[in-house]
Structure 1
Amino acid sequence: MKTKLSDYLRPLVAGALLLGNAALIPLASAEVQPLDRVVAIVDNDVIMQSQLEQRIREVQQTIDKRGADAPPMDVLRQQVLERLITENLQLQIGERSGIRISDEELNQAMGTIAQRNNMTLEQFRNALANDGLSLETAREQIRREMIISRVRQRRIAERVQVSDQEVRNFLASDLGKLQLSEEYRLANILIAVPEGADSATIQAAERRANETYEQLQQGANFAQLAVARSASENALEGGEMGWRKAAQLPPPFDSDVRELAVGEFTRPVRTPPGFIILKLLEKRGGDTQVRDEVHVRHILIKPSAIRSNDEARLLVQRLRERIVAGEDFAELAKNFSEDPGSALNGGDLNWIDPAALVPEFREVMANTASGQLSPVFQSPFGWHILEVLGRRATDTSEEFREQQALNLLRNRKYDDELQAWLRQIRDEAYVEIKL
């Protein structure tokens, strides 16, 4: 399926101080120029009025393209400001953690986005211009998105734990047996309930959720209500959640969604974050019984505070040359690879579904013949070389089913952990709003 440009370029435009040159203009003819100002202090950083207004304009453009009506300006401004605060906090965490995105990584990401949209770089630049974005602005947006993605990978992954017993229970359940049958494209509206809320606050949220549900029953636009009312992170995207399997949803949504027809929505359901309404936008069957798998091993070297991006690339290149010269791939992987999941196994990832891999890894693997060593390449995790040991078409073996179950259970927990973590960093941060 073709990836929309907007899927990769969520608005994340940083503002700058608007410095006028009034000192060069005679006082008699000088006009009053509005100065930029701070609208929020967020820990060790600030959000400027120019950032907020720029983001509001971009969100309004997105809403207009969908043919939806924007919420009242005060509601929209609050939604956008909260999004900027959350993003700012994650970027600060990335800065403190030493997460850096090199120009080479950005160039590769830009090329990948253009390729996936069947564009040349020049066509990509023109598409950005049509959306009112310069190439430099797009690069900054992608850089921020990559930093936030890596922050989440590090912080959320350590919070998500799935036991072997959970996997066995899931595979034995009716839902586990059905989990490969269908996928659902969903949207949601979240009416938030703060942690520790009293009964009056909970009842008020429930009334608002029921009012929203009644409006939907009367034909109100789901995406418009999501933008106007939802407290979910994807509210400004009309509540779009993307494709999910039923097993990735927490109860009772895992069973409720299978009863929905396309276009229908659930009643409000109380969950830890608040009251949630789900809408089924589309579904597709999972009738594929045979899967293509690749047996692959790799070596990963990561840039760090003591190793620059170029030094990491050169180290991988030297390791490749040593393998070509006859040294053992597995021994070098054990000694050098910084992928903790595979290094002790000589870099071996075993038989794996290509869909489970990041695009950069998957594309290089697809272009590497069995028994061959790949060129040096980069992914969001660092610099790699890989060797394809074999390819096969296989049915869903027990081992594969267990891995699928593990991934689905992790994804199910990931969404809840992400929302909990975002609330936590927001609650623990010093935020002073100056609107």
Structure 2
Amino acid sequence: MIHAPKARERFARGAALLAALCAAGAPLAGSAQTPAAPAQEAPAPVQPQGISESVAAVVNDDIVSTYDLAQRMRLLIATSGVQPTEQNLPQFQREALTSLVDERLQFQELRRVEQEQKFSIIATDEEVDEELGQLARNNNMTVEQFRGMLQAQGVEGSLREQLRAQISWMRWIRGRYGSRLRIGEDQIKAVQANIAASANKPSYQISEVFIDANRVGGMDNAINGARQLVTQMQQGAPFPAVARQFSAAPTAAAGGDAGWVAAAELPAELQTVVEQMRPGQLSQPIPVRDGVYIIYLRDRRSGAGATLVRLKQAAIALPGDATPAQVAEAAAKLEKIRAQGPTCENIETLASAEAGVIAGDLGEAEPKDLSPAFRDAVEAAQDGQFTPPLRTQAGLHVVAVCGRRAGGVAAEQVSREQIENRLYGQQLTMISRRYMRDLRSSATIETR
């Protein structure tokens, strides 16, 4: 997704570096040539007319030109939010070339089917225009503004072909296989039983990026590419935009949003990692059998059997090597506040009257997830009662339990229809991936 207004800046920076590298003769990924020297960012967008054109790949006699490749790379840079560097340009190049090759194979197959079946499958210009309009609305832009930004960088044509391929291919997959798919009652009941069995366990709201090792040329490429994406997202690239352009998971179209899942619904490799994560945390690359995952944990909620406590504190920062006199002085200030009978409503006001004391809301947590010093005191405390001063490596704290509630009571019920739709989508995606794998294996593909 392109996010306005920062999208214009990303377009300019990305196009400038890419065009500079192309002009300098940057080799295709895997080439034995020496990499080009670092490119300097230009102050204004570089138009594509200066890029010389040659053959990047041949797909069953269909040519992918280096001009096509450069335009698709520009499009990936603009829509993913990932900043181009000499280190990640090979990844952009590999992803751009892979997507162009796949699109050529898809269009070849769709035209073959059209000739045999005598009906139209490939999306019309009007259908592509409708999809462009939706993208514009998603970015709070008019169609004219959105297209103007694309045209300024010369990548509207590349985006239109990408959209045309996506619309047409999914129409064909749904048309050929959708009516044949049957989600059995046993499948739905198995998912419902799994959800019920997980009711007393934590559930996680996650987003995902899946790098398909078969698609990118092996596990090493998948791991290296995932590492670069993690670095870029840590530097500010939006997770949904990265997922839309780089993920091979069914959730890519939704920006990687996998919704709420129980740990038992995840592959074992992901389950181990997610259970150790906290909301707002981005995982490192997680290798699985056929690729690599990147997980963003958006939220976490406890199971129905857990008790959550809402905590507030007043604290004084102290170094780990503070002297006994410093600790005693801090404890005296906190005891002075305790003597005034603080409540969860007035603790901030009382703390503000003492120099060096800060107060605030610590949010909700399960007692077992707290540090040992906090856990024992919280479990013994009465609601609204502030504990005696507690020493940690960060300082000295008095903590109150401002409320307790049963975990899981706000859990959304997953309807039968939602389960069926999820299983249906997963099966269609698996069919599409197998179809594409067969097309690649039977095709003659030459990259240069």
TM-score (norm 1): 0.49
Larger RCO (CA within 8 A; separation ≥ 6)? 1
* Structure index of larger Rg: 2
